[in-house]
Amino acid sequence: MKSQYDAFLKLITELHDIGHAQGLLSWDQETNMPAKGAAQRARSLGALAGISHERLTSPRLVELVGELSESSLSGDAAVNVREIKRSQDRALKIPRELVVELSETTSLGHEAWVEAREKSQFDLFAPWLTKILELQKRAAHLIGFEGSIYNAFLDEYEPYATTEEVGPLLKELNHRLVPLVQKILDTGTRPAEGVLDQVYPAEQQEAFGRQVLSDLGFNTEAGRLDVSVHPFCSGLGLGDVRLTTRYNESYLSDSLFGIIHECGHGLYEQGLPADADGTPVARSVSLGIHESQSRMWENMIGRSRGFWEHYLPQLQQRFPKQLSRVDVDEFYAAVNQVSASFIRVEADEITYNLHILLRFELEKALVEDDLAVSDLPEAWNEGMRRSLGIDPPTAAQGVLQDVHWSFGLIGYFPTYTLGNLYAAQFLHQARQEIADLDERVRSGDFASLLSWLRTNIHSSGSRLTATELVKQVTGEPLTSEYLMEYLESKYCGLYGV
C-alpha cells in the first residue's frame, strides 16, 4: 500500500496547491483588486475550480482512494484518505449541470437579495430563495443523509455533527438564555454610553490593534493584517495566514474586537500540525471549532475585566482625549453592553446566540418542508418577539439582513453558536490546567493559554472530529453548562441581577 499512498499524497498535494492559488486570488479580490478586475477574476477562479474538480474526481485518484479505503491504514494516512473520500463522494454525486445551475442561481439570487434588502421587499427575493432551496435539497438527496435532511447541510460546515445531537442542545440553550436576557434588559441599564462612540483616528486604532495582535502571539512573519469591507481570516498555508479588518473612526469596537476575533482564527491556522502540511490532517476540523478560537479570544479573553486592567492604560495613551477619564469598570461595562437589537452582526455576545438559534430553527424548518418561503417573514418576526421581545419594523432589519441564504449557505449559522459552546467548555478546562490563568491575563501573559490551545486543539488538526476533540480535551461531550455558567457569572455581576 506504500506506493499507492505515495501516489495519493502526490495528487492531493497538487490539489492543495491549486487551493492555495484559489485562496490567494480570493483574498486579493477582497483587499486589493480594482473594481474593473472583477470579470477576469471570476473567470480565473472559475477555471481553477474546474481544474480542482477534475483532479479531485480523476479516475486515478478515485481508484487510489478506493484501494486505500479498503486497506488497513491507520493514523494520519487513514484521516487523509477518509477526508479526501468525503469531498470526492460529494463531488462525484452531484452532476455538473446541477453544480452550474446552483452557481448561476445563487449568483442571480444574491443580486436579487441585494436589491430586495435595499428596498426592504421580501417578495423580490422570495422566488430566488425558493429556487435555491429546491436545488440545494436536490443536492442533499443526491449526497445522501441519515435522519433529517438538514444533516446533509450541517455536515458541510460541521462535519460528522447531526441535528439530532446538536438540535436539543441548542434548544436547551435557547430556553436558558431567554430568561437571562430578559432579566438583564429589565434592569433598563445602559452602561457607559458615549465611551466607544467618539472619534478614534484609524491610524491609532491600527497601531493598537497590531500591538495586541503581536502580544497575543500572532506570528507576523507567517501572516499579515490588511483592510477589507467584510473582515475575515484566510489560511493560505501554515506560513501565510491573512487577516483583515475595517476601521470605523466613530466607533472603537469594530476594528478592536474584529482584530482580536480574526487573530483567534489566525492563531488556530498558524498552530495546525506542521508535520502534516499540505494534507487534510493539517486543516481545521470544523467551522464550529474554528469559531471557538476566535470567540474565545474576542469575547472570553478580550472582553474580560483582566484583559482591560492590562490594556486600558495603553489604550488611554493612544487616546488620551477620549479615554483619560474612563476607568476600568466603566470601560469593561462599555465593551459588554447587552441590548435587544435587530441586527445579528451588531449583537452582544449573549443575544447573538438568540439571533443564531432563530436562523437555525427557520432554515431547518425550510429544508424539512415545515415552513413555506412565503411564511418566512412572519415566522422571523414572531421569533424575534419570542426571543428578544422586539418586532423588526422592516424586512431589511429582519429576514433580509443576512447574506448567507442568498449564497445558498444553509447549515452554516449554527456553527457560530457551537463555537461559543466549544469555547466556554475549552476555557473551563484550560482554567483547571493552567494555574491562575486569569491572573496571567491581567498581567498581559497570553502565552500560557496559547500554548495550551496549541497542544490541545490546534495541533490536532483534523485528526479527531469536533465531537471527539471536545470529549478528549474536556472529558465530556459538548454541553450548554459551561457557556451558561460563563455568561451568568459575567453578566449577573455586570448588571447586578
| Contact residues for Mg ion, defined by CB under 5 A | 294
Indicate the residue among 53 and 344 with the shorter CB distance to Mg ion. 344
Closer to Mg ion by CB, 195 or 256: give it: 256
CA distance 161 to 163: 7
* DSSP string of 406-434, one letter each residue: GGT--S-THHHHHHHHHHHHHHHHHHHHS
Q: Would you state the cell numbers that stand for residue 161, as one nine-digit string?
A: 455533527
Q: What is the dihedral of CA 244, 422, 356, 364, to 10 degrees?
A: 120
Q: Please, are residues 413 and 404 in contact by the beta-carbon 8 Å criterion?
A: yes
- Based on CB atoms, which residue is closest to Mg ion, 120 or 228? 228
Phi, psi at 79, each rounded to 5°: -65, -45
Whichever of 483 and 494 has its CB closer to Mg ion, that residue is 483
| Rounded-to-5 percentages of helix, strand, coil across the chain | 70, 5, 30
Cell numbers placing 469: 476533540
**Where are the alpha helices (H) located in 338-375, listed in sequence order?**
351-367
Give the C-alpha separation, 106 to 10, whole Å: 34
52 vs 353, beta carbon nearer Mg ion = 353
Cα(36)–Cα(209) distance, rounded to whole angstroms? Answer: 31
- Number of residues written out for the chain: 497
Q: What grid cell was written down for 205?
A: 486604532
**Cβ 386 to Mg ion shortest distance, Å:** 27
b or e along 301-324 (b: 16 or more beta carbons within 10 Å of the residue's beta carbon)? bbbbbbbbbbbbeebbebbeebbe
Report the DSSP pairing between strands 223-227 and 241-245. parallel
Q: Least separation, in Å, of the C-beta of 404 and Mg ion?
A: 13
Q: Report in angstroms the alpha-carbon separations of 323 from 211, 254, 331, 368.
A: 18, 17, 9, 51
> Annotated catalytic sites, by residue?
262
Q: What is the spatial distance between Cα 424 and Cα 264, in angstroms, rounded to a whole number?
A: 14
41-46 own/partner pairs: CB under 8 Å, 24+ apart: none
**CB neighbourhood size of 207 (10 A):** 11
What minimum distance in Å lies between the beta carbon of 268 and Mg ion? 10
Q: How far is the CB of 233 from Mg ion (least distance, A)?
A: 7
Dig out the grid coordinates for 97 from the structure.
449541470
Least separation in angstroms between residue 261's CB and Mg ion is 6
φ/ψ bin of 411: left (φ > 0), alpha (ψ from -120 to 50), beta (otherwise): left
- What lies within 8 Å, CB to CB, of 97 at 6+ separation is none
Least Cβ distance, residue 174 to Mg ion (angstroms): 21
Q: Which is nearer to Mg ion, 157 or 380 (CB)?
A: 157
294 vs 337, beta carbon nearer Mg ion: 294
Residue the block writes with cell 453544480: 99
What's the min distance (Å) between Cβ of 312 and Mg ion? 25
C-alpha separations of 356 from 10, 40, 260, 337, 380 in Å? 41, 36, 21, 18, 12
DSSP-derived secondary structure letter, 299 = I
Q: What residue type is assigned to position 139 of the chain?
A: A
| Minimum CB distance to Mg ion smaller for 383 or for 419 | 419
Nearer to Mg ion, 135 or 243 (CB): 243
CB of 257 to Mg ion, least distance (A): 11
The residue written with cell numbers 490541545 in the block is 456
Give the nearest distance from C-beta 290 to Mg ion in angstroms. Answer: 7
All three cell numbers of 188: 433598563
Least distance to Mg ion, CB of residue 161, Å: 18
Return the number of the residue (294 or 299) whose C-beta is nearest Mg ion.
294
Which residue number has the CB closest to Mg ion? 294
